[in-house]
Structure 1
Amino acid sequence: MLKEDIKSLLLEGTAIPAHPLALNSFLQFDENRQRGLTRYYMESGAGGVAIGVHTTQFEIRDPEVNLFEKVLEVTADEIAKANLARPFIKVAGICGLTPQALKEAEIAKKYGYDLGLVSMAAFRNEAEEAILEHIRAVSEIIPVFGFYLQAAIGGRVYSFDFWSKFAEIPNVCAIKVAAFNRYQTLDVVRAVCHSSRRDAIALYTGNDDNIVADLLTTFRFNVNGQHVEKRFVGGLLGHWAVWTGKSVELLKNIKATLASPNPDLAPWLTTNIEVTDMNAAIFDPANNFHGCITGVHEVLRRRGLLEGIQTLNPKESLSPGQSEEITRVIAAYAHLVD
């Protein structure tokens, strides 16, 4: 079960950066810079971090690399050292088929992580009920942060019925929607609104192409004759791993706008396009997201937070013109850059 202060923050909504992996020029784990990144996120006002996720590189699980437990341990230790006077959500990425996922959940629990962001990408052709059993098994070890990954980068499309049953799992506490698709996003939100647990589940956007609009929107459905509303209360995003201070400020200002008596949302629609333009430079959708991790690294390298943009996968690099695109959006949207 979640601690009450963590649960309250999760439901209230906060900014959770997807934490990158720091490597030196020899492709060795750079613990000092890894800790520095964690401090950067805490000092920027983020409400938590997610480690062991896509932005941390899935290759950390390869036997010859063997960094999954190490990065969880180092991140948790740095957070503990900070002795923050506020709650800070620790999310661990959990991958693989059920035996691997249960092992990773136990490691996350060992180091005091609050939730497991459970990837379902390993399930290619299995029936949806088998995947639900997988989530139930993981949830018995650690509270679950659900994850709808877009099909273009390894996810798959799930039915409304799947998400309806998913939302009823007792230890599901949040869902990150990164479907990059309005129809599929709607399926998740509608399913949660129809769930008996709708007030116990926080929705977080991972839709990098629509971050601000997700955070602005009230989703409203008729459920048994009553209007039920739900919002995305925060984001768990690789985009928020860079320019994190401004991302935290963005979320705070959106919440303040929505709380005002007569909110003017028109300027925020323009901001939505600005943020999407920035995201396109970092995440490289023009090249099927080839440079999505190295794009994040490049921004952090320019800030002095990473030594370089190297990754564990030698095939990953910036796409042609991507560095110039990053330079362009930094200049164009200085008000959104730390």
Structure 2
Amino acid sequence: MALRWQDWPTGIAERLRAGCVIPAHPLALRADRTLDPRRQKALSRYYLDAGSGGLAVGVHTTQFAIREVGLYEPVLRIAAEAAGEQRTPPILVAGAIGRTEQAVREARIARDLGYHAVLLSLAAWKGAGEDEIVTHCAAVAAEMPLVGFYLQPAVGGVPLPASFWRRFAALPNVVAIKIAPFNRYATLDVLRGVQEAGAADRVALYTGNDDHIVGDLLTPFDLGSGRPLRIVGGLLGHWSVWTHAAVALHRRCRGVADGPIPPALLAQDAQVTEMNAAVFDVANAFHGVIAGCHEVLRRQGLLEGIWCLDPHEGLSPGQAELLTAVSARYPHLTDDAFVRDNLDRWLR
């Protein structure tokens, strides 16, 4: 049976629209590159105990190749089990990829596991026309609520104009958009589309711009209507590490949404971006992005190693040293002590 956002449990829609931290969930593997269920669940427990409002699973940070090795459903199930341990149910978002048949199938799997929405990647539609892509989105939205995803073209995303985002936001089962083009002009295209669709009250705006996280959260986007749009949260691979500190930073940003912005808080935009450059391996065109997340979690003891499903994925030369440097430079943006104090409980 199709799921509409109006069918969600009490509080889910309100929390999504108020804004929260939603980490893009990594994949915990053993040295033989098989799933490590214990550490996979420990990661979910870490994010939720850190104060995350939700989890995004089966997305890029989880590695798209989980589908090829039969791990899509098991990984979604583990996160749902961890979510079931919480007194307040978190928002569960599942990644859905591919052409319509595959995306609909994945949406149905997520729905059956108790997920609330799917984050819809459009990378498989490169070269397609706007009408085709909107039709695809509508077909998936007929199954369950959608979180749109503007992925940066540099890593496979499709350039999408404001006209697309206006039509997408007008779909009644669209609940949010992850804005991640790493491009200010394209970010404004999403906001313009949502405004012109008259969907600002229904569609929550989440940053995926890991190069401008704090700036996105602090900016009132007044596009001429007299009612500024706000990016209220983040669905981020960067927030899969140092998550307890990210929750505190998000809270501070939201706390000054309508007032003066302290210079020290604004300065953290550059600090977070520099940390992201190390984690995401910007110097090497993002080659070590997943391994960089894994390395932070390995150093904290949450992961046993940095193994990826693709044996060719790993840290780039000098990336480990950059991670060490930014961690030392900005200790207020890390959460090693929080992890150390709770790790045994999460690994139980």
- TM-score, length basis structure 1: 0.96
1:296 aligns with 2:293: yes
**1:255 equivalent in structure 2:** 254
Q: Output the amino acid matched with 1:69.
A: E
**2:339 equivalent in structure 1:** none
The CA deviation string for residues 116-158 of structure 1, in whole angstroms up to 9 with x for no partner, is 0000000111111101011100001110000000000000211
1:118 aligns with 2:115: no
The CA deviation string for residues 176-201 of structure 1, in whole angstroms up to 9 with x for no partner, is 00000000000101111122222100
**1:51 equivalent in structure 2:** 57
Alpha-carbon distance between aligned partners in 2 of 1:159 and 1:237, rounded to the nearest angstrom: 22
Task: Identify which range, 168-177 or 185-194, moves more after superposition.
Answer: 185-194
Contact 1:20 1:56 in 2 (8 A): yes
Q: Output the amino acid matched with 2:228.
A: E
**2:331 equivalent in structure 1:** 334
Structure 1 residue 74 displacement after superposition: 1.3
**2:303 equivalent in structure 1:** 306
SS in 2 for 1:170: coil
Alpha-carbon distance between aligned partners in 2 of 1:145 and 1:161, rounded to the nearest angstrom: 17
From 145, 149, 159, the equivalent of 1:157 is 159
SS in 2 for 1:200: coil
**1:5 equivalent in structure 2:** 11
Alpha-carbon distance between aligned partners in 2 of 1:297 and 1:185, rounded to the nearest angstrom: 28
1:271 aligns with 2:253: no
From 58, 63, 76, the equivalent of 1:72 is 76
Structure 1 residue 254 displacement after superposition: 1.1
Alpha-carbon distance between aligned partners in 1 of 2:183 and 2:308, rounded to the nearest angstrom: 29
**2:343 equivalent in structure 1:** none
Alpha-carbon distance between aligned partners in 2 of 1:244 and 1:28, rounded to the nearest angstrom: 25
List alignment gaps of at least 5 residues for structure 1. Answer: none
Contact 1:179 1:185 in 2 (8 A): yes
**1:233 equivalent in structure 2:** 232
Structure 1 residue 257 displacement after superposition: 2.1
The CA deviation string for residues 47-93 of structure 1, in whole angstroms up to 9 with x for no partner, is 0000000000011011xx1100110111111211x1x2324100000
The CA deviation string for residues 13-33 of structure 1, in whole angstroms up to 9 with x for no partner, is 000000000000111100000
Alpha-carbon distance between aligned partners in 2 of 1:50 and 1:203, rounded to the nearest angstrom: 15
**1:246 equivalent in structure 2:** 245
Q: How does 1:15-30 map to 2 (within 5 A)?
A: 15-30=21-36
Contact 1:9 1:87 in 2 (8 A): no
Structure 1 residue 168 displacement after superposition: 0.4
Q: Output the amino acid matched with 1:173.
A: V
**1:323 equivalent in structure 2:** 320
**1:90 equivalent in structure 2:** 92
Q: Output the amino acid matched with 1:71.
A: V
Q: How does 1:179-198 map to 2 (within 5 A)?
A: 179-198=181-200
Structure 1 residue 296 displacement after superposition: 0.1
Q: Output the amino acid matched with 2:62.
A: T
**1:209 equivalent in structure 2:** 211
Alpha-carbon distance between aligned partners in 1 of 2:236 and 2:18, rounded to the nearest angstrom: 17
List alignment gaps of at least 5 residues for structure 2. Answer: 336-348
Residue correspondences, number: 329
Compute the RMSD of aligned alpha carbons: 0.9
Contact 2:213 2:273 in 1 (8 A): yes
Q: Output the amino acid matched with 2:56.
A: A
Contact 2:76 2:94 in 1 (8 A): yes
SS in 1 for 2:11: helix
Structure 1 residue 258 displacement after superposition: 2.3
Alpha-carbon distance between aligned partners in 2 of 1:25 and 1:208, rounded to the nearest angstrom: 29
- TM-score, length basis structure 2: 0.93
Alpha-carbon distance between aligned partners in 2 of 1:244 and 1:268, rounded to the nearest angstrom: 17
SS in 2 for 1:221: coil
Structure 1 residue 207 displacement after superposition: 0.2
